[in-house]
A and B are shown apart, each in its own frame.
Chain A
Amino acid sequence: QQQVKQSPQSLIVQKGGISIINCAYENTAFDYFPWYQQFPGKGPALLIAIRPDVSEKKEGRFTISFNKSAKQFSLHIMDSQPGDSATYFCAALTGNQFYFGTGTSLTVIP
């Protein structure tokens, strides 16, 4: 059973557009929600993270929106650039274990 459901599986966005990736969860014990960015042949790197007592966190062009009542959180990439083309994973932490979404392959077209 997938603990964290991520959508869409793939996304194509024009340069300068907004990329939006969504994740949903059921386990209310999750208390930390990071997003990871992975380039081909590389390990994932922590991009941005949020705790459930905050509804939004912004770092540069990247924003996490968190809806605790709906048990959903999303990643928004503003002014998307070709260099943002990568696979993005959402995750959720409970105890010492993370549960990952299945990933979204983002392609930003110049």
Chain B
Amino acid sequence: DGGITQSPKYLFRKEGQNVTLSCEQNLNHDAMYWYRQDPGQGLRLIYYSQIVNDFQKGDIAEGYSVSREKKESFPLTVTSAQKNPTAFYLCASRKNRGTYGYTFGSGTRLTVV
């Protein structure tokens, strides 16, 4: 079955540490996205990529970095510059053209300890 796989499901980060969240899709989708979800704030866009080796900042990119070396993969690194990283992180993908919805992964919950 095609889908998006996010790992790990739970992640704990110490102060000053960088951590990387994995997102892999086998849907042959062109575009991939990272969102952050906090209670009462809905989904906020961190980064997105429409093609391999290209990505753009979203609304809250500060303290995060991404790469898109393969069509299937779009990892997100939460750097030590992100002062409040505790949140639920969602990866999504979709076809680039036409009116199609997102397919979301099951999320990674990141907690600072």
What is the number of residues of chain A that contact chain B, defined by CB distance less than 8 Å?
24
Query: How many CB-defined contacts (below 8 Å) exist between A and B?
Result: 54
If over half of A's interface residues share one DSSP class (helix, strand or loop), that class is named, otherwise mixed; here it is strand
Smallest CB separation, A101 vs chain B (Å): 6
Cα separation A9 to B42 with both chains bound (whole Å): 10
**Per-residue A-contact encoding for B47-79, CB less than 8 Å = 1, 0 else:** 010100000000000000000000000000000
Please give, as numbers and ranges, the residues of chain A lying within 8 Å of B12 by CB-CB distance.
none
CA distance A95 to B41 in the complex (A): 23
In the complex, what residues of B have CB within 8 A of residue A34's CB? 101-102
When C-beta atoms are compared, the residue in chain A nearest to B100 turns out to be A32
Complex contacts, B103 vs chain A, CB 8 Å? 46
Chain A residues positioned under 8 Å from B45 (CB to CB): 97
Is B99 an interface residue when CB atoms closer than 8 A count as contact?
Answer: yes
In chain A between 41 and 88, which residues have their CB closer than 8 angstroms to a CB of chain B? Answer: 41-46, 49, 51
Say yes or no: A44 contacts B42, CB within 8 Å.
no
CB <8 Å contact, B96 and A44: no
Does A96 interact with chain B (Cβ within 8 Å)? Answer: yes
Across-interface contacts of B42 in A (CB, < 8 A): 6, 89, 100-103
B50 touches A43 (CB 8 A): no
**Smallest distance from the beta carbon of B3 to chain A beta carbons, Å?**
10
**In the complex, per-residue mask of A98-110: 1 if CB is within 8 Å of any chain B CB, else 0:** 1011110000000
Q: Which of B87-111 contact A (CB under 8 A)?
A: 90, 92, 94, 96, 99-107, 109
User: Does the CB pair B43–A49 fall under 8 Å?
Assistant: no
Contacts beyond the supplied A96-B50, A97-B45: 19 A-B pairs with Cβ under 8 Å = A32-B100, A36-B101, A36-B102, A41-B107, A41-B109, A42-B106, A43-B90, A44-B90, A44-B104, A46-B103, A49-B99, A96-B48, A96-B94, A96-B96, A97-B48, A100-B42, A100-B43, A102-B40, A103-B40
* 28 A–B pairs (Cβ distance < 8 Å), ordered by A: A6-B42, A32-B99, A34-B101, A34-B102, A36-B101, A41-B107, A42-B106, A42-B107, A43-B90, A43-B104, A43-B106, A44-B43, A44-B104, A45-B104, A46-B102, A46-B103, A49-B101, A89-B42, A89-B43, A91-B101, A96-B94, A96-B96, A98-B102, A100-B42, A102-B40, A102-B41, A102-B42, A103-B40
